[in-house]
Amino acid sequence: MNRRKKLSTAGGFALVLSLAIAGNASAMHIMEGYLPGGFCVAWGVLCLPFLGAGLRAMRNALKENRRVLPLLAMAGAFIFVISSLKIPSVTGSCSHMTGTGLGALLFGPGAVSVLGVIVLLFQALLLAHGGLTTLGANTFSMAVAGPFAAYGIYRLCQKGGVNRRLSVFLAAAFGDLFTYCVTALQLALAHHTDVSFGGAFLKFLAVFAPTQIPLAVIEGILTVLILAALETYAKPELRAAGFIKED
Amino acid sequence: MKKGTVIALLAAVILLAFIPLFLLKDAEFGGSDDAGSAVVEEVDSQYEAWASPILETILGGELPGEVESMLFCVQTGIGVGIVAFFMGRFVERKKQGKGE
């Protein structure tokens, strides 16, 4: 890569970040108090094994090679940035992306669960966004289901011989979309007294999914871009994390 | 990745993010969680939210919009700071010919 290309990649990166600061409105996640107590506890308990496994996976990755620490920090920071941006969508409402795909591809879905909880706690405590009672449910959708979907899709694509950039795009985009499908499912499970469960699910899905589709595409593109930048500048770290093979 | 590809992808991101704003001039662009809460009322009319955000409980009211946007900016800022710091180190390292 010549000097100009390098500069343009770095410049593009800066542009993404500055663009990222422009968003503003209200956003997503199940709001405080919007799930009955039993559901809050159940989703929370369901998340615990994933968080435990995530902490172990993170510790092992760091013990194996300290070199991956900057990547881990960047994956967490990427979630911070991406999930703070509420972007207008074609449906006339705003939503935000999850940013969990990057970490899932680099460190596996478990590690992202831990990173995701940090972000969700930040938003629930300081931003009245999401909530402490719904933390379990939101953790499950954003920090467990989404990353696992992203990781699974990436693995499948790699097995199927899909080009790596396209695999990254598909994984990040569908992981993002899947998070919101799970949110719709969680809401429908708790709230369907007036209509059938299926009807409620479709209604919630109709609120979240169409809004999320363009955002999922954006998340896919941004994840591809940041990974391309890392492939250019941080090959040793990516190798240490096992994302690219030794050559 | 080729320079042209990077620029094209960035342009696509900008277009995707901003076209709805210009296309739907009458839309309010409220949050989809507010829309979600409206659906809860529709499909489960008896349901009453039983908790309110801890910060709002402490403040005894809603978080002022300006302060909320400030806190969102803090979140963005923390993230951007970390990403840019490490990315800067990586770029500089490569420039000096260390680490491939």
**B41 touching A, CB under 8 A?**
no
Interface residue of A8, A30, A129, A202 to substitute, partner B, most B CBs within 10 Å: A129
Say if strands A86-88 and B30-31 run parallel, antiparallel, or are unpaired.
Answer: unpaired
Query: Could you tell me the pTM of the whole model?
Result: 0.86
Confidence of residue A130 (pLDDT cuts 50, 70, 90): confident
Find the helix or strand (DSSP H, E) in which A25 lies.
none
Higher model confidence: residue B77 or residue A193?
B77
Distance between CA atoms of A77 and A80, rounded to whole angstroms?
A: 5
Summarised one tens digit per residue, pLDDT across range B46-62 is: 787 878 878 888 888 87
**A221 touching B, CB under 8 A?**
yes
Confidence of residue A226 (pLDDT cuts 50, 70, 90): very high
For chain B, what is the mean pLDDT? 85
Name chain A contacts of B1, Cβ cutoff 8 Å: 9, 165, 225, 228, 232
Predicted confidence at residue A127, as pLDDT, reads 82
Measured between CA atoms, the residue of chain A closest to residue B20 is A90
Q: Encode B25-50: b = buried (16+ Cβ within 10 Å), e = exposed.
A: eebebbbbbbbbbebbeebbeebeee
Percent of chain A having pLDDT more than 90? 57
Summarised one tens digit per residue, pLDDT across range A30-77 is: 888 888 888 899 999 999 999 999 999 999 999 988 899 999 999 999
Distance between CA atoms of A60 and A58, rounded to whole angstroms?
A: 5
3-state SS assignment for residue B76: helix
ipTM of the shown complex: 0.88
Task: Indicate if the pLDDT at residue A212 is higher than 60.
Answer: yes
Task: Indicate if the pLDDT at residue A1 is higher than 60.
Answer: no
Predicted confidence at residue B33, as pLDDT, reads 65
Name chain A contacts of B93, Cβ cutoff 8 Å: 233
* Residues A90-99, mean pLDDT to the nearest whole number: 88
Interface residue of A9, A74, A202, A230 to substitute, partner B, most B CBs within 10 Å: A74
Task: Indicate if the pLDDT at residue B27 is higher than 60.
Answer: yes
Predicted confidence at residue B45, as pLDDT, reads 80
Distance between CA atoms of A72 and A217, rounded to whole angstroms?
A: 23
* CB-CB contact of A116 with A83 (8 Å): no
Interface residue of B16, B23, B32, B93 to substitute, partner A, most A CBs within 10 Å: B32
Name chain A contacts of B8, Cβ cutoff 8 Å: none
**B58 touching A, CB under 8 A?**
no
- Which residues 43-102 in chain A show a CB within 8 A of chain B? 70-71, 73-74, 76-95
Contact assignment for B43 to A5 by CB distance below 8 Å: no
Q: Residue A174: what residue type? A: F
